[in-house]
Structure 1
């Protein structure tokens, strides 16, 4: 038994215990999010009685407040007055309040308020949690640390979806899902409060925190290497958004015979399972490459995955096999992308501006999700031929991403050479 336990533990990266605690906290928090992620629109349309347009509008407002949250988080994380830990605690409080507001919402105004608060809480959360991981790791270890925390997210979402579906099927009580989500954020608050210390130790080493917020952001936005990365990162987040927003409807309306909701649910459970199984092994394998090269590998997978998805619509009797294969390839593309992107930005960032750099990285997700769903929705309103060509167009766009990443890799290597000569 002891041999088996050691054999299992050897697959886990040797990291600061705070990262392992943070990963467990994120698992609990994301379990609560999984309860509501797929069921909230159904509840507010079918039981509260709002229109699909109204619910979509409220979700869009949540993205806008999320942009504000990411801006605040970047500045607070790098501030000696606030720091990473405080930002995470505030994020958990706001997110818990948002969940309880949505749990009692009976009209459009309350749904908008809940989504605004939830967007703000999520916006505060991502730069802070990414900065904590970056503070506690270095070099190749950082990629595995990001993979481990993402593993906690993925397992939590999977558990939340499963248990949320079980509650709905047995009791039909949608409001209970929001209450459980709020409780999960309170538990996450307790984990951070009790077990996570402030990880930013650079306040005394630099005078940059005495500058205004605007000046610190302007310093980051003048980093041309970071801005080149931002372009390709927005492309990647647009790709990710297609999986969540466009693919379910595509599978329902544009494959031979149309997949039933049960089949679509099963496909996405398989997608999440592949993400969980391959996250650590693939991240460890990609450690032998630079971050930009790892992102290039991910881009190639995106291209192949989108080609298979386009083929799914024309696959007739093989549609289910092709859909499974396409989603599996896209799952590996996401697995290759997420840890490498965060690690790249953490490596680019000066220690004293790490929160702002990672906030800019998080803003790419907000921008990508503002572009991606409307773009996919427009495509699905066109003829089947245009819909199939939409996926092929996404596949071709990875050529642009590969060119940008090649340039990015060259710039980063030149910067490292200059820094070595200066030291």
Structure 2
């Protein structure tokens, strides 16, 4: 990767890191807040988080379309500005202890608006890299994200011991800082498609590309697995193992530190093998890491499971983004990456809801049961990604350094 390109990726990685640091201060602890402070059951709290995740599915598709039509930076900035307002309102609802319905309405709005940034950001990364550079580029973004993820929940775990609302106010403040940073540092080289109007029906029709549809399905499965870190592990450790919140925050931090320190080496490994092979390895690591959690009751061994799952994440996340970028045409990058985020958020919603159900109906009978189910799902996703090699060219699957030819879009742009 050229020095100029790497510098651009570092800039957008810092922006992503600031956002995830702010996210980590507050939102991972919202499930615990609903259960411990508002009296919701685990399954009800999981349903709330799942419904919020479904709202992100809709906004992810909208973001991808708008990013193609109006520009990447415009969507990133205005999406963040709207989320700041919603996040501040959510903090006020918690501070004033308003009726649960109003608080959840603000939470749903916050999560809906929060999905606007990533599809536009990923499209910006794709615009500024070649197919050969994308695994490394998305790896750099992951490092930025996970520096934020490593620091945010650790700080948030201590902050929520004193005030849940203050955590959300600080999140809004960090999002405002990110807007100022983006305005000063990021230039958008994308030429908006003036002749094309946003068409969300056409975005859904992009799934006529069977390869995109398959990738999105496997992403749903592996993202449901990954989401257990936020909801499933929190409920497991708090409700069944009676661990304090700051222990749970440290699990999030361990997950983030894995990517911060090992993402570079994972990227080097992925450059030497097919993307489909790398994705299988990543899913297998998820299976071993999360599949073992239910058998442990101490911090150290659970942290080991989180570490192994983190190794899987640092392979799977840049891999899935690179696969989708490589099969998309120049005109549909935002749309394809938006659809990826639709199914990413659908997987998160399914994982959040499933975590609550497994905690209420499986764990009381056999504590390792939920985690064995999660491990099996990870292996299913890995098998699917492995089979994808049959429908990918060598270039798309990352086997050679030959640039992927620009393909004509077979899906209508209108």
For the aligned pair, the TM-score class normalised by the smaller chain equals: 0.7 to 0.9
- Distance (whole Å) between structure 2 residues aligned to residue 127 and residue 283 of structure 1: 21
> Do structure 1's residue 294 and structure 2's residue 251 form an aligned pair?
no
How far did residue 321 of structure 1 move? 4.4
Answer with 106-115 or 258-267: which moved more. 258-267
How far did residue 252 of structure 1 move? 4.6
Q: Matches of residues 199-214 of structure 1 in structure 2 within 5 Å?
A: 199-201=189-191, 203=193, 210=196, 213-214=199-200
Kindly indicate whether the alpha-carbon contact (under 8 Å) linking 1:34 and 1:157 is maintained by their aligned counterparts in 2: yes
Match for residue 144 of structure 2 among 143, 152, 156:
152
Higher relative CO (Cα under 8 Å, sequence separation at least 6) belongs to: 2
Kindly indicate whether the alpha-carbon contact (under 8 Å) linking 1:202 and 1:351 is maintained by their aligned counterparts in 2: no
Match for residue 73 of structure 1 among 63, 70, 73:
63
How far did residue 340 of structure 1 move? 0.8
Answer with 281-290 or 385-394: which moved more. 385-394
Equivalent residue number for residue 350 of structure 2? 371
- Distance (whole Å) between structure 2 residues aligned to residue 361 and residue 139 of structure 1: 17
- Distance (whole Å) between structure 2 residues aligned to residue 389 and residue 55 of structure 1: 20
How far did residue 358 of structure 1 move? 0.6
Match for residue 98 of structure 1 among 86, 90, 93:
86
- Distance (whole Å) between structure 1 residues aligned to residue 78 and residue 244 of structure 2: 41
> Do structure 1's residue 197 and structure 2's residue 187 form an aligned pair?
yes
Kindly indicate whether the alpha-carbon contact (under 8 Å) linking 1:69 and 1:123 is maintained by their aligned counterparts in 2: yes
Answer with 221-230 or 266-275: which moved more. 266-275
Equivalent residue number for residue 6 of structure 1? none
Answer with 151-160 or 58-67: which moved more. 58-67
Structure 1 residues 160, 398: closer, same or farther in 2, change over 3 A? Answer: closer
- Distance (whole Å) between structure 2 residues aligned to residue 398 and residue 59 of structure 1: 21
User: Cα RMSD (Å) of the superposition?
Assistant: 3.1
- Distance (whole Å) between structure 2 residues aligned to residue 402 and residue 57 of structure 1: 27
Equivalent residue number for residue 143 of structure 1? 135
Answer with 279-288 or 223-232: which moved more. 279-288
Q: Matches of residues 239-258 of structure 1 in structure 2 within 5 Å?
A: 239-252=225-238
How far did residue 17 of structure 1 move? 3.1
Structure 1 residues 264, 112: closer, same or farther in 2, change over 3 A? Answer: closer
Alpha-carbon displacement from aligned partner over 1:99-127 (angstroms, at most 9, x marks no partner):
11112113234413321321222121121
How far did residue 25 of structure 1 move? 1.7
Structure number, greater radius of gyration: 1
Structure 1 residues 268, 67: closer, same or farther in 2, change over 3 A? Answer: closer
Equivalent residue number for residue 7 of structure 1? none
The answer to which structure has the higher helix fraction is 1
- Distance (whole Å) between structure 2 residues aligned to residue 16 and residue 189 of structure 1: 21
The unaligned stretches of length 5 or more in structure 2 are 397-401, 409-414
How far did residue 202 of structure 1 move? 7.2
- Distance (whole Å) between structure 1 residues aligned to residue 246 and residue 6 of structure 2: 41
Kindly indicate whether the alpha-carbon contact (under 8 Å) linking 1:64 and 1:119 is maintained by their aligned counterparts in 2: no
How far did residue 51 of structure 1 move? 3.7
How far did residue 57 of structure 1 move? 5.8
Q: Matches of residues 354-365 of structure 1 in structure 2 within 5 Å?
A: 354-365=333-344
Structure 1 residues 43, 245: closer, same or farther in 2, change over 3 A? Answer: closer
Tell me the TM-score normalised to structure 1 length. Answer: 0.83
